[in-house]
């Protein structure tokens, strides 16, 4: 699948409009996806942009990175445009840390290539096609995740991606079983029958001066956070059904009275998990604790924030973020590479997702307490006194949420000036996106922990024989606790199950346009 973009793309046609578009571009950057070649319109735009640069150079007017040095060295003349390209990516090869996952790395390249073809960046169509051909063949640079402030774009990680095309550094390799490993970039190029490239300065500038790395990670985070929110809604609905909670809590009338779009959608998601004609069990309180009663309010607020962040990211993905750019017959020096929009969107994804994970942890706490689980044994153990049940699972879930909170602390609060005071205001967008990515791993483990609680509640209520679909698969993952056992692998398997299930549900909603309300 491919998602074609153009300089006139807009992705803000309504609240949450970015959700479907972002899902499409993630699929378009997959291992087996293909990026279409530059068409006649692309080529015309790209050549017009290059001609504008040439006219400016012929007039003797300065152009950043071509006639002048980089960053604070802009005060000095550049003697050789040819040397500038190699110098740019070489001096920025200082990123460190583990490489970004291959799906993120492929999306980074997809985003940069689509930006470079829009006709603002004076990029050669021939060079662009060379990069795109290698990407289409699977060439995927291994991009270190740490070492950029995201102010002149994600300079260091993008430079490492560019260096991989020169045969320096490492690239991802994928075997026939779909397993990814890292190998020398020169070997990866050689396996494709390709020679290392040399970067002209115009193309190097267009490639590294951009928000593509933090943006790619933020988009992947956004999609994961949406799935996590959907999964918690599924589990929350199942929990309410098993407990016999008051279904009025999730009535669409409550959501319509308030008028919040996310709450209405989540109320519909929860209703799908409730039996038709469900009534309130009089043994339960008229009003459940907030972790049950306010599920649609909490997750609805999370969904609204994710949709807002998604719209920002979609606009960024459809735009151009390098410097300088050409607009018509003008060469404009600006700061579109400053990743503050990505940084704020990333932080909001993390903060919102945290609330969904925290809700899951609170629902698990409700399940393991006799005060709120319907007078069942503590920790849902059938062997109270001899067995400990889900005690370890809950303790770990508490730890996951505590660590998660550290990881989603806004990275923009840690900004520091750098680069000889040239970059005196920086967003730290990739730092933030990396933190959210790590936090999501813990958030999903919290979801897996809650799923085990739901599985054991089903057993304790004597309903294990009456399950189907995803609940039957969950029962296979986490059978009755006849004796205590290590449950770490069960948590991970339940996490994987609900990642897939939530993804399938969201894909179905996108295909049908369903809002979730029945």
Model pLDDT, residue 80: 58
Phi, then psi, of 454 in degrees rounded to 5: -65, -40
Model pLDDT, residue 148: 96
Cβ–Cβ under 8 Å, residues 133 and 170: no
DSSP secondary structure letter of residue 106: H
Model pLDDT, residue 515: 46
Model pLDDT, residue 510: 84
DSSP secondary structure letter of residue 435: H
Helix (H) or strand (E) holding 146: strand 144-146
Contacts with 4 (C-beta within 8 Å, 6 or more apart), sequence order:
36
Contacts with 199 (C-beta within 8 Å, 6 or more apart), sequence order:
85, 86, 88, 89, 162, 165, 166, 207
Listing DSSP states for 167-220 in one string gives T-SEEEEE-TTS-EEEEEHHHHHHHTT-PPP---HHHHHHHHSSSHHHHHHHHH
Model pLDDT, residue 81: 62
355: left (phi over 0), alpha (psi -120 to 50) or beta: alpha
Of 436, 459, 445, 463, the C-alpha closest to 394 is 445
β-pairing verdict for 144-146 and 96-99? antiparallel
Model pLDDT, residue 77: 78
Listing DSSP states for 298-326 in one string gives HHHHHHHHHHHHHHHHHHHHTS---SSEE
β-pairing verdict for 170-174 and 180-184? antiparallel
DSSP secondary structure letter of residue 250: G
Within 10 angstroms of residue 53's Cβ, the number of other Cβ atoms is 17
Model pLDDT, residue 181: 97
Model pLDDT, residue 514: 57
Per-residue pLDDT of the chain (518 residues; tens, 9 = 90+): 345 444 334 334 454 667 889 999 999 999 999 999 999 999 999 999 999 999 999 999 998 888 886 777 776 777 756 567 788 899 999 999 999 999 999 999 999 999 999 999 999 999 999 999 999 999 999 999 999 999 999 999 999 999 999 999 999 999 999 999 999 999 999 999 999 999 999 999 999 999 999 999 999 999 999 999 999 999 999 999 999 999 999 999 999 999 999 999 999 999 999 999 999 999 999 999 999 999 999 999 999 999 999 999 999 999 999 999 999 999 999 999 999 999 999 999 999 999 999 999 999 999 999 999 999 999 999 999 899 999 999 999 999 999 999 999 999 999 999 888 788 899 999 999 999 999 999 999 999 999 999 999 999 999 998 999 999 999 999 999 999 999 999 999 999 999 999 999 999 988 877 544 43
Give the span between the Cα atoms of 177 and 55, in whole angstroms.
52
User: What global pTM score does this model have?
Assistant: 0.95
Of 490, 486, 485, 405, the C-alpha closest to 450 is 490
């Amino acid at each position: 699948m491919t998602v074609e973009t153009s300089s006139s793309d807009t992705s803000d046609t309504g609240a949450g409009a970015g959700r479907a578009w972002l899902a499409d571009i993630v699929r378009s950057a997959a291992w087996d996806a293909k990026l279409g070649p530059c068409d006649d319109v692309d080529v015309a735009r790209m050549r017009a942009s290059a001609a504008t640069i040439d006219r400016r150079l012929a007039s003797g007017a300065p152009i950043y990175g071509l006639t002048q040095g980089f960053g604070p060295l802009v005060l000095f003349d550049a003697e050789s445009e040819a040397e500038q390209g190699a110098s740019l990516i070489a001096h920025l090869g200082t990123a460190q840390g583990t490489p970004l996952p291959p799906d993120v790395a492929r999306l980074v390249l997809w985003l940069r290539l689509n930006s470079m073809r829009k006709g603002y960046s004076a990029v050669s169509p021939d060079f662009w096609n060379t990069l795109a051909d290698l990407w289409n063949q699977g060439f995927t640079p291994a991009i270190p995740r740490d070492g950029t402030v995201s102010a002149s774009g994600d300079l260091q990680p993008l430079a490492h991606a560019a260096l991989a095309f020169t045969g320096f550094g490492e690239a991802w390799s994928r075997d026939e079983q779909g397993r990814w490993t890292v190998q020398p970039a020169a070997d990866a190029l050689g396996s494709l029958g390709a020679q290392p490239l040399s970067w002209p300065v115009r193309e190097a500038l267009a490639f590294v001066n951009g928000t593509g790395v933090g943006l790619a990670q933020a988009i992947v985070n956004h999609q994961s956070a949406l799935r996590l929110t959907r999964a918690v809604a599924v589990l929350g609905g199942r929990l309410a059904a098993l407990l016999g909670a008051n279904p009025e809590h999730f009535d669409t009338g409550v959501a319509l009275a308030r008028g919040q779009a996310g709450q209405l959608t989540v109320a519909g998601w929860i209703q799908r998990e409730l039996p038709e004609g469900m009534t309130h069990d009089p043994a339960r309180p008229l009003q459940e604790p907030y972790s049950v009663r306010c599920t649609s309010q909490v997750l609805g607020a999370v969904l609204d924030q994710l949709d807002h962040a998604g719209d920002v990211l979609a606009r960024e993905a459809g735009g151009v973020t390098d410097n300088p750019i050409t607009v018509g017959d003008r060469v404009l020096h600006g700061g579109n590479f400053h990743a503050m929009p990505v940084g704020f969107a990333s932080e909001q994804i993390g903060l919102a997702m945290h609330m969904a994970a925290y809700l899951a942890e609170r629902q698990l706490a409700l399940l393991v307490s006799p005060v709120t689980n319907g007078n069942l044994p503590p920790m849902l153990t059938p062997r109270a006194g001899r067995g400990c049940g889900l005690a370890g699972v809950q303790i770990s879930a508490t730890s996951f949420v505590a660590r998660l909170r550290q990881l989603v602390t806004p990275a923009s609060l840690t900004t520091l000036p750098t680069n000889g005071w040239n970059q005196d205001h920086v967003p730290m967008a990739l730092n933030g996106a990396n933190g959210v990515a790590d936090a999501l791993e813990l958030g999903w483990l919290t979801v897996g922990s809650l799923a085990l609680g739901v599985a054991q509640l089903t057993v304790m209520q004597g309903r294990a024989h009456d399950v189907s679909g995803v609940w039957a698969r969950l029962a296979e993952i986490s059978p009755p606790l006849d004796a205590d056992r290590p449950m770490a692998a069960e948590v991970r398997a339940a996490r994987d199950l609900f990642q897939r299930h939530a993804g399938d549900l969201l894909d179905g909603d996108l295909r049908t346009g369903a809002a979730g309300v029945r």
